Amino acid sequence: MAERSQNKPSPNPLLKTTKRKWVPRRRGWWRLFGWTAVCALLFLASLWLVPLPGEKGWSTVITDAEGTVIHAYLSTDDKWRMRTELGEISPLLQRAIIQKEDRWFYRHPGINPLAMARAFTRNIFSGRRTSGASTITMQVARSLAPGRRTYARKLLEIFRAFQLELRYSKDEILQMYLNHVPYGGNIEGVKSAAVLYFQKNPWHLSLAEVTALSVIPNRPNSLVMGRDNDRIIAERNRWLQYFREQGTFSESDIRDAIDEPLGAYRHAAPQELPHLSYKLKKSGAPIIPTWISRNTQFKAEKLVKDYVRGLQFQHIRQAAAIVIDNRTNRVLAYVGSADFKDSTDGGQVNGAAAIRQPGSTLKPLLYGMCIDKGLLTPKMIITDAAVNYGGYAPENYDKKFNGYVSMDYALSHSLNIPAVKSLRALGKDAFITQLSSLHFRQVQRDRKKLGLSMILGGCGTTLEELTALFAGLAREGVYQWPAYTQNDSLQPKQRMLSAGACFLLDDILSKVNRPDFPLNWAATEKMPRIAWKTGTSYGRRDAWSIGYNKHYTIGVWAGNFSGQGVASLSGAEVATPLLFRLFNTIDYDNEKEWFQQPAEVAVRAVCPVTGLLPGEHCEQTVTDYFIPLVSGTQTCHHLQEIAVSADESISYCNSCRPATGYKKLLYQLYDADMQAWLAERHIVYKKVPPHNPACETIFRDAAPQIKSPQADAEYLIERKNPEPLQLVCQAGSDVSKVHWYINNRFYKTAELGQKVFFVPEEGPVKISCTDDKGRNKDVWIRVRYMD
C-alpha cells in the first residue's frame, strides 16, 4: 500500500499552471469588451450631447413670384451668403458636385476610411501634404468652425462629421455644403455664386457653369471669375473629361459643356424693388418670397418715373403706386417713389407706406356702410347747404353749395357736406371701428382724436391701406389684407360691405361724366373701364386716385415727401392720368368683364325730389337701385296739405283750424338750412303763410333752435387775435327775423339765415335767440382766452 502510494504519479505542474492562467485571461477579455462598450456609448452620447457650431448668418434675399432673386442684403458679417433651399438643388448640380467632391457621399458614415488611409500613406512617403481625404460632411464641419489645418483639427472634423451624419439627412448635409462653400472674396454658397457671377438661380445653371463653379473652392484666390476665366475653362474641361470617363453625364452633354464659352464676371447684387424689400427685410427671414411680377413691376416703375419727370416744372416731384391682382389678392407691383436713387426730394422715402391725409378717398366706404344700414340709396336726396356742427362748418371743394343732391351725385362729384351729414347719421364711432378692423393703423391710434372731418381727409392713412380697401370693393365687399409675400396667403377674410352695396358703388364710381375726370386726358388715349375715386388733401399736399376693375386694383399717390403744397396738385388732374396709364399698360383689353348685378339688388320707383317711395302727392318717379329688406321704406312727404285762410295770409294747424272759412293747399316744406340756401340765391318758392297768431300750441312748442355756439361747450380764443363766433339758429317756416341777445343785452336783429358774428367776453356767456313770434331759446357757453 505504501509502495503503491509512493508510486502514484504526481500531478502535472504544467497542467496546473495552465488552469491558473486561463481564468484571468478570460476575465481580461470581458473587461476589455466592457471598457470598449462604455467608450462606444460615451462616444455616441457625446455625438448627441456636444453642441455643433451653428450655421452662420444669412444674407437676406427677396425673390419675385418666379423665385428669381430681385434684392439681396449682406449678412451681418458682410458676406454674400444666400441660403440655398433643397428644392433649388437640381439633379445636375447634385451629380456634378458629388462626383467631383465625394462620390461615396451617400454610402459612407461621414468619413471615408479608405480615402483617409490612402491620403495618409501618400503624405507620409512624400513628406508633405499632397492629398486630402475630406468628405463633403467633413468639409461642412470645417466650414462651420474654420481654423488652421492641423492633425488635431482633422480629428475634430472627423468627430463633427459623425455628429452631422447622426443629426441630419444626406440631402441636408449636401445643402449645408452648398450653402457654405467659398467662391472667392466674400461670396459663400452656390446660390450667391450663381446670382453674382451668372445672374441666375442655381437650378438654371448649365453643366458648364456648374463645373466652372465647382473648381473655384479648391483655389478661390487663384481662380477668380472674370479675371482668370481661361484657367477656369481649362480646369473645368479637365473635370468634364473626368465626368466623361466616369459616365456621369451623356456624351452630348459633355461635348456641349466643353464648347460653351465662359464670359462670367462678378456683378453687383440685385437691388430691384428697393422700398418693399427694405420693408420686408425687417422680418429677419433669410429668403422672403414675394408675389411681385417683374414684368409688371418694371412697367409700373417706368411709367411712374416718366410721368413724374413731366411734373417737375409744377414742383411735383414724387409719386407712388401699388398694383393688386383681385383674383389672387397678390401684390404684383410696388413703387415707393419715382426714383429710389433721387435724393432731391427723398427718393428713398417709401411713399406707399407713408402716413398721409387721404382727402375724399374714404367716401365710398362711408356711403357703402350707409347703404347697408338702410340709410341711403343712390337716388336718395341729401341737402348740400351750409351747416355748423359745434363750430365745425365744412365746405365743398369749390366753395359752393348745390342744394338738393342725390347720393350718387354727391359721391361722383365728391361733395363734402353730404359726406359729413352721412357720417353724422351713420355714427363716427362705427366708421372708425370699421376702418380699424381694416388695418387702418393710424386711425386706430387716433380714434379718440378724430371727428367728422375725418371723412374729408382729417385722419392718417397710407396708400397700402387705401389700395387694400378698394380691392375689397372689387371683390364684392370681401376684405383681405393683400399678400405681399408667399407666406401671407392665409390672411383672414372679413366682409366689410354687402355685395349689393359694392355693386351700387361700382355703378356710381365707373361713370365718366364727373368733375374729377382729368381735363388733360387726351382724346387719343384709351379710357380704361374702371371704377375710381380721387382725393386731394388739405393744402394740396397729397393727390390720390385709386381704381379697380374685375382684374386689378391700382392705387396712386402723387405729391412731395417734403409736404410742400402745390396749387396745381389734385387727385383728378395729377394722380388720375397716371392711374389710367397704368391700367392701359397692365390690363389694356379689359372691356369684356364687368361687375354683374347680384340677386340681392332690385330696382324700384322713387320720388325724384326725395328719393323715397312715392307718396300720394308725388306726380313723377325715377328708378333706383335698392336692397330689399335692407333699404328704407319711408314714404315721400315733401308735399304736405296745409290748411290756410281764404286769402292765404295765415295757416292753421289741427288745434286752431276753424270749422269753416279755410282751404287746403299743397306746399313743399324746406328745412332751415335749405331755406337759408334758397334765400341766399334769391330763389323764389311758395312759402307757407305765417301761422295763426291766435294759436297757443305752435307758439309754445316751436321756439328757435340755436345751432352755434354749441350749448355747454368751452371755446378757447387767442387774446391777441380773437376770432369771432358765429350765431346760427333754425326756426320755423313762419319766421322771417330773429333777435339775438348776449348776457341778456340786445345784440342784433337779423334775417333768418343771415350770418351773424360776435366776439364774446371771457367767462360764462348766455346767448338768447327770440324769433318775431316771441318764441325764445337760451344756451350757455364758457369762453377762455389764451395768451
User: Active-site residue numbers?
Assistant: 101, 360
Give the residue from 503, 483, 505, 502 showing the smallest Cα distance to 493. 483
The SS3 call for residue 59 is coil
Between strands 763-771 and 776-786, the pairing is: antiparallel
Residues 6+ apart with CB under 8 A from 733: 669, 670, 675, 687, 688
Q: How many helices (H) and strands (E) does the chain have?
A: 23, 27
Cα gap 12→406, rounded to integer Å? 131
271 - beta bridge partners? 71
Q: For residue 284, give the nearest of 53, 56, 59 by alpha carbon.
A: 59
Burial (Cβ within 10 Å: 0-12, 13-18, ≥19) of residue 5:
exposed
Q: Are 284 and 75 within 8 A, CB to CB?
A: no
d(CA 105, CA 114) in angstroms, rounded, equals: 13
The helix (H) or strand (E) run that includes residue 643 is: strand 639-645
Give Cα separations from 443 to 279, 356, 358, 435 (angstroms): 21, 11, 11, 7
Our CA angle for 612, 613, 619, nearest 5°, is 100
Determine how many CB atoms are found less than 10 A away from the CB of residue 129: 10
The 10 Å Cβ neighbour count of residue 193 is 28
Residues in the chain: 787
SS3 content of the chain, % helix, strand, coil (to 5): 35, 20, 45
Whether 739 and 756 have beta carbons less than 8 Å apart is answered as no
Under a CB-based contact definition with an 8 Å cutoff, are residues 766 and 758 in contact?
no
CB 545 within 8 A of CB 576: yes
- d(C-alpha 302, C-alpha 70), whole Å: 17
Q: How far apart are CA 297 and CA 508, in angstroms?
A: 30
Query: β-pairing, 705-708 with 763-771?
Result: unpaired
Q: Report how far residue 171's alpha carbon sits from residue 80's, in angstroms, rounded to the nearest whole number.
A: 22
User: 3-class DSSP state for residue 667?
Assistant: strand
**C-alpha to C-alpha distance for 334 and 341, rounded to whole angstroms:** 16
* Residues pairing with 574 in the sheet: none
Report how far apart the first and last C-alpha atoms of the chain are (Å, whole number): 146
Residues 463, 468, 474: CA angle, nearest 5 degrees: 130
Write the DSSP string, 668-711. E---HHHHHHHHHTT----PPPPB-TT-HHHHHH---EEEESPT
Residues 438 and 466: beta-carbon distance below 8 Å? no
Q: Report the C-alpha gap between 225 and 412 in whole angstroms.
A: 61
Please, which contacts does 234-238 make with residues 24 or more away whose CB atoms are closer than 8 Å?
236/208, 236/211, 236/212, 236/262
